[in-house]
Amino acid sequence: MSEQQYQPPKVWKWNQQDGGTWSSINRPIAGPTHDKTLPVGKHPLQLYSLATPNGQKVTIMLEELLAAGVSGAEYDAHLIRIGEGDQFSSGFVEVNPNSKIPALMDHSVNPPVRVFESGAILLYLAEKFGHFLPTNLAGRTETLNWLFWLQGSAPYIGGGFGHFYNYAPFKIEYAIDRFTMEAKRLLDVLDRQLAHHRYMAGEHYTIADIATWPWYGNLVTGGVYNAAEFLDAGNYTNVLRWAKEIGERPAVKRGRMVNRVQGPLNEQLHERHDASDFDTQTEDKKQK
């Protein structure tokens, strides 16, 4: 490991030009940067999001609910381009003061309810519609154990491993080592759990799987950071088995397309306002 070069000053100052991928949007202050109201579509649920792993959790959940016959889960998914700072509009900050996607408004209740934090959104939808969360205390608790495990561990995968392996403007061995070690430890935790259970919380598919698949499922199948080989993902055979099974679910295939602006064009649906948008996807719709 190379010698330490950087000596922190007495008081940290914001260097707005740090050159990293996210330097144009990252800032040390909260609150809106501009006035803009959010669009509201025709459905009860209004989602403001982007198909990052955190965003995919919610669109997969909504598509699963619709596939289970819950018509009240119809939704409009509006695109929030975080690279362009849409999360700092006054309208978005009213829905999520933390300025991060995903953010949801439920207009089926009066007054409308705002829901932010992807884990809270999954829990809200599971409780509202009575799906993907066992009602018995033991099953519910095990599901929430794993949901909170995911919410607590994902920043080590995204903000830690993914940032330093993929996004940082130069490779720092110390940081990559630290977060790769943690990413592999977490993959091993999941692998051991899935060695004895079909799904994370047992024999039933729950919001724990819906939250975790976009992170760990994508990680081992190369869907994020192109790091499957680097992480030796082939070793996590139970995670791979689970990732492939869930990846084949039609609702998961649909959910991961919504608000997606990267990858193959036929896997991108920039905005979703109707179930038929998946069938009638055209160049025109994708550019909306």
Ligand X SMILES: N[C@@H](CCC(=O)N[C@@H](CS)C(=O)NCC(=O)O)C(=O)O
Give contact residues for ligand X (rule: CB under 6 A).
25, 52, 54, 82, 87, 99-102, 117-119
How near is the Cβ of 36 to ligand X at its closest, in Å? 16
Of 113, 87, 104, nearest to 46 (Cα)? 104
Radius of gyration of the chain, Cα coordinates, nearest whole angstrom: 19
Q: Output the smallest distance, CB 146 to ligand X, in A.
A: 15
Q: What is the DSSP letter of 12?
A: -
Sequence-distant (≥ 6) Cβ neighbours of residue 219 within 8 angstroms:
157, 183, 187, 225, 227, 228, 231, 233
Cα–Cα dist 251/254, whole Å: 5
Angle, in degrees to the nearest 10, between helices 173-196 and 237-247: 80
* In the complex, minimum distance from the CB of residue 257 to ligand X, in angstroms, rounded to a whole number: 17
Minimum distance between the CB of residue 139 and ligand X, rounded to whole angstroms? 23
Nearer to ligand X, 101 or 269 (CB): 101
Q: Give the residue with the Cβ less far from ligand X, 126 or 240.
A: 126
Residue 85 identity (one-letter amino acid): G
**Closer CB to ligand X, residue 104 or residue 240?**
104
d(CA 59, CA 51) in angstroms, rounded, equals 8
Do residues 91 and 40 lie in contact, with contact meaning Cβ atoms separated by under 8 Å?
Answer: no
Give the HSE-up count for residue 36: Cα atoms under 13 Å, Cβ half-sphere: 12
How near is the Cβ of 87 to ligand X at its closest, in Å? 5
Nearer to ligand X, 48 or 205 (CB): 48
- Closer to ligand X by Cβ: residue 87 or 212: 87
Nearer to ligand X, 133 or 240 (CB): 133
- Residue 118 CB, shortest distance to ligand X, in Å, is 4
